[in-house]
Structure 1
Amino acid sequence: MSKERFKTILLLSLVCLSLYLVTKVWVEFPYGTSFDFREEEIKELESYLSIDLIRPNKYLVNFNEDSHTIFYSDIDNNLWTTAYSSLASILSSDEVETEEISKEEYISYHDKRSIVFYFPEQFNVYILARFLDVPQPNDIVEKIQEVDSIYFHLGNDEPFLILSKEDFHLKIFEPTIKLEALKSKISAMENIGNITYYYPMRDTVDVNNNIYIPVKMSKSIPVVYVENEINTDNIEDLRNIAELFFQKDIDYIREIVENNGSVIYLHDDKVLKINYRGFLEYIAPLEETVNERNLYISLVTASDFLFSNLALPKNLYLSKIEEIESGENLGYRFTFKYRIGGLPVILKSDVVEDFIQLEVFNKYVTNYKRFIRRQMDGTYDAMDNRVMLSAYDIINMNYELIRQDHIAKYNIQDEDEEFIKKEILSRIEDIYIAYVDPCENKTGERLIGVWILKMEDYIYAFDVYNGNLVVKKEQ
């Protein structure tokens, strides 16, 4: 064998060996995309997956054909955390059987004893599995790539799950699955009582709408006062926040105090702005071009960033995922909301859009916005003794407003009034109780209890006690 030929074979062998070793170091992610992370970087990033970012924003409990209830926080019952292990088993088992079922069959299962977890966003099933610590999910992640709800059948017959995305429903059996813990918790809820019962609109008002709403409220909601998380009147507090974000002593950070009380901190190319209302914004440059977005890595990066900076509200949840572009760079915008007293909180302010929002390009956070209001000490037990209006009361009292918006939006003329009414009722996407934060005071701000009426085109917030309009926004 000639020396040159030997060199060629040796070179090819080294190239093949290098490619093999690289595949051991690189990590494969969903959508067939690879990113050049060292193995220790991946382990460090994945350590943040224990943060409970992905959680339901609504829980429908079906006791039987005639009894249903809905709630929006799971602090007292831990139903979602109880369901973790069963869902993880389903997504990792090699013994699952699946079948696609019709919308009609899916709806019929709501008359059986069960619980449905609804998510605020369509979540990727592969990522959900990874967040549940399933290293190699089964082919369920291929049969249904995204979910917006998960149904657990809790009857005495064979248990099963249904993963859904809009009108696609995948029924899943697994021979070893045990749901006894969930069944026990649902029975305990039923025995305690004091339940507000919800009924499907298709039965109560005879329209083509499957959402559940209550006819009568069984309990009131707490009186809640909030204050800004960030005390903008204390410059030392603001400097401590700057040191936390930049990981530098304040002596190495430039500080600019504006006339209106807002403060800007600068270090290298990074900027931290805290305005006089308590709204925080962090801006950082993108360190390299990111021309392929990856949701999994971006979520892990967001989780890492949130965990590493200011403390998070206890009831924080991921409410929205948007794809974004910045020049040639591709990334995601993540929006987080939270609950107080078990209820979602809506901001009335036009200045602040949401409580927490991040723009993430795989490994890099380029923008972080935060406006958190915390419940004030000594305001946890007070209840409002006024009688709350029901969802039907709210719809009836405000029907003319909703009707006028509907007619104007769709340019309706000379239609039958009964047809218009059925059309409006069929377009209701959700109705639920929440708090509205007026965002007018730094401290001592009383939240307004409201019914949120979510239509296809508008979101309305009506006072739960007098029915007055508090907020109206176009979707």
Structure 2
Amino acid sequence: MSRERLKTIVLSILVIMSILLTHQIWLYSPNEVLTSKALSNKSHTLEIRENIISPKRIILGFGGGIQSGFSTILSHNEMEEVWQYSRRVLEDYFILEPEITEISAEDYTEYMGLRHVELEFGDNISSVLVSSIFNNIDSKIVRNIREINKILIPSINKGSIFIVGKDNNTFEIKLKDYVEDKSINDFMIEYEANGFIKYYRLFSFVDNYTLMPPNFYTQLPKLTVESVLDVEKDQVLQHQTEIFFDRNLDFVRIIKETNGAVVFLYGYGEKTLRISPTGRLEYNEEISNESSTNVIAALDTAIDFIDSHGVIPKTAYLAEAKQIKKGNSSGYYFGFNYFIDGYPVAISSKNMKYPIEIEVFGNCISSYKSFVRTPMLLPNITRLEPIRPPHKVIESNIDIFEIDTVKDGNLLEEMNKNNEILRRINSIQMVYFDTMEEKRRQIVVPAWQIKVNNQVYYFDSYKGQLLYKEAFN
């Protein structure tokens, strides 16, 4: 082989290698990697958002009329299956162009007496959030109904659903072209064949249609829980400060309070992180002229922050959403709750309404609070006596309700005062109540949460004794 021919071959090989390497660099450039990571993060956020925009309560109504018909309230495990069936039915209503007609509260009450499933969402949940589950943020429902409190779906879909919105305004949503769906009814038939707790509208004689069980046969144990955040370990505290202050700890001062809480101050106090001995975390940051106008973007910002700085329980749901103002800035408040052993958690706190709370202004977080528990691997404490039904608890504590009713500025005649109290009951549900006293080995008890006007009461479901009460908005 001649020397010139050898040079030609070597040069050709070098050119080919150069092209291949250039192509490889182009394929795996940093921009491509960053884009892939961004898409992955967005997909993860979307998955969490779809999980938390879910009902806080699901009721199955088995027909028989509003006065004598019975219903049941599902535990969390049962809710998941019914929610999937419901989403399948609701999809066309949120994607297509249905006819929307406002109806009376009396009409809605009549439909409650038929076989149905009722989905109850958190407080002030925007219709655009619910519609986003179906990948349509400009649906006709969004354009006509601002908030969604409840959705009633007849057990056999025949082209109509019913929505309770802001200020209890009620609407019928009707599709001309629909696919008859019996999945909810099939589930109810199978469910009805087994034993379950029946709920009735025991106070309908005073025009109060709140559901409650005459008897509660299920034995619910006391649970032993611990805080997710282990404040006794220095490495945990170190890790938390690095997360919140981006590892820039040179400008962080540490203050230890007499009650055992640790406070981290960044700079001149523009950022603060406080961790209590029981594992409650509170973060605050100063903001300046940051505003949020898009509730979905604000919720995604909140989810990203909580997911990277704390924990979102698998059973978490959006319990409340509302617009807020701070100075010249506008933003959103989001409150999240979660289920433990099938029932929602309730906490004893004067400055926290939910276990996770966050305030979002633009891309900034001005406030974040978290107090999340997890069950410990210890034997549950089972009670031998039966749970007292809520109407018995109300009867034995009527004096407490009466005192608060009088404080509310309503002096009642002796003959009518009990009926007036019963008329004012807004909701009754079983919860697990946490007094937030211990970091570890905290006992949470099954309790009846009873809302009357602007007061919420928690009663030990076995003893019927008042555990805690507070005002709510």
Q: Same fold (TM over 0.5)?
A: yes
1:256 aligns with 254
1:116 aligns with 118
1:284 aligns with 285
State the Cα distance separating 1:76 from its structure 2 match. Answer: 6.2
1:443 aligns with 440
Q: Aligned in 2, Cα 1:221/1:88: closer, same or farther, shift over 3 Å?
A: same
| AA of the residue aligned to 1:434 | V
Which digits, 9 at most, give the CA deviation of each residue in 1:351-397, with x for residues without a partner?
655311111113221211111121111346x6433211111101110
1:244 aligns with 243
Q: Distance in 2 between matches of 1:128 and 1:321?
A: 12
Structure 1, unpaired ranges of 5+: 1-37
Structure 2, unpaired ranges of 5+: 1-34
Q: Distance in 2 between matches of 1:182 and 1:350?
A: 40
State the Cα distance separating 1:306 from its structure 2 match. Answer: 1.9
Residue 231 of structure 2 aligns to a residue in which SS?
coil
- Of the candidates 388, 401, 421, which is equivalent to residue 424 of structure 1? 421
Which digits, 9 at most, give the CA deviation of each residue in 1:110-139, with x for residues without a partner?
222110011121321122212x14235332
1:155-304 mapped onto 2 (5 Å cutoff)? 155=156, 158-165=158-165, 166-174=167-175, 175-193=177-195, 195-203=196-204, 206-248=205-247, 254=252, 256=254, 258=256, 260=258, 261-265=260-264, 269-286=270-287, 289-291=289-291, 293-304=293-304
State the Cα distance separating 1:217 from its structure 2 match. Answer: 1.1
Q: Verify the 8 A CA contact 1:59 1:71 in the aligned structure 2.
A: yes
Residue 214 of structure 1 aligns to a residue in which SS?
coil
Q: Verify the 8 A CA contact 1:153 1:159 in the aligned structure 2.
A: no
1:67-78 mapped onto 2 (5 Å cutoff)? 67-71=70-74, 73-74=76-77, 77-78=80-81
Q: Aligned in 2, Cα 1:281/1:417: closer, same or farther, shift over 3 Å?
A: same
Q: Aligned in 2, Cα 1:306/1:383: closer, same or farther, shift over 3 Å?
A: same
Q: Aligned in 2, Cα 1:178/1:307: closer, same or farther, shift over 3 Å?
A: farther
State the Cα distance separating 1:77 from its structure 2 match. Answer: 4.6
Q: Distance in 1 between matches of 2:172 and 2:77?
A: 25
Q: Distance in 1 between matches of 2:104 and 2:333?
A: 33
Residue 122 of structure 2 aligns to a residue in which SS?
strand
Q: Verify the 8 A CA contact 2:280 2:371 in the aligned structure 1.
A: yes
- 1:370 paired with 2:370, answer yes
Which digits, 9 at most, give the CA deviation of each residue in 1:39-94, with x for residues without a partner?
x9899657513212222111111122123111352456521233223323211113
Q: Distance in 2 between matches of 1:101 and 1:202?
A: 24
Q: Aligned in 2, Cα 1:244/1:383: closer, same or farther, shift over 3 Å?
A: same
Which digits, 9 at most, give the CA deviation of each residue in 1:160-202, with x for residues without a partner?
2111124322212332345333233222322232x11111145
| AA of the residue aligned to 2:184 | L
Residue 429 of structure 1 aligns to a residue in which SS?
strand
Q: Aligned in 2, Cα 1:255/1:133: closer, same or farther, shift over 3 Å?
A: farther
Q: Aligned in 2, Cα 1:447/1:207: closer, same or farther, shift over 3 Å?
A: same
1:461 aligns with 458
Q: Aligned in 2, Cα 1:320/1:231: closer, same or farther, shift over 3 Å?
A: same
- 1:312 paired with 2:319, answer no
Q: Aligned in 2, Cα 1:402/1:340: closer, same or farther, shift over 3 Å?
A: same
- Of the candidates 465, 469, 472, which is equivalent to residue 469 of structure 2? 472
Q: Distance in 2 between matches of 1:124 and 1:93?
A: 19
Q: Distance in 1 between matches of 2:221 and 2:239?
A: 34
Q: Aligned in 2, Cα 1:135/1:449: closer, same or farther, shift over 3 Å?
A: closer
Larger Rg: 2
| AA of the residue aligned to 2:333 | R
The TM-score with structure 1 as length reference comes to 0.82
Which digits, 9 at most, give the CA deviation of each residue in 1:278-329, with x for residues without a partner?
111222333x523564322211211221222323222212222233222211
State the Cα distance separating 1:409 from its structure 2 match. Answer: 2.1
Q: Verify the 8 A CA contact 2:332 2:361 in the aligned structure 1.
A: yes
Q: Aligned in 2, Cα 1:181/1:243: closer, same or farther, shift over 3 Å?
A: farther
Residue 149 of structure 2 aligns to a residue in which SS?
strand
RMSD over equivalenced CA pairs, Å: 2.7
1:129 aligns with 131
Q: Verify the 8 A CA contact 2:158 2:179 in the aligned structure 1.
A: no
Q: Aligned in 2, Cα 1:100/1:317: closer, same or farther, shift over 3 Å?
A: same
State the Cα distance separating 1:263 from its structure 2 match. Answer: 2.8
1:45-124 mapped onto 2 (5 Å cutoff)? 48-51=45-48, 52-65=51-64, 66-71=69-74, 73-74=76-77, 77-94=80-97, 96-124=98-126
Q: Distance in 2 between matches of 1:135 and 1:159?
A: 20
State the Cα distance separating 1:218 from its structure 2 match. Answer: 2.3
Q: Verify the 8 A CA contact 2:253 2:266 in the aligned structure 1.
A: no
Q: Verify the 8 A CA contact 2:291 2:362 in the aligned structure 1.
A: no
**Matched positions, count:** 426
Q: Distance in 2 between matches of 1:444 and 1:292?
A: 40
Residue 199 of structure 1 aligns to a residue in which SS?
coil
2:16 aligns with none
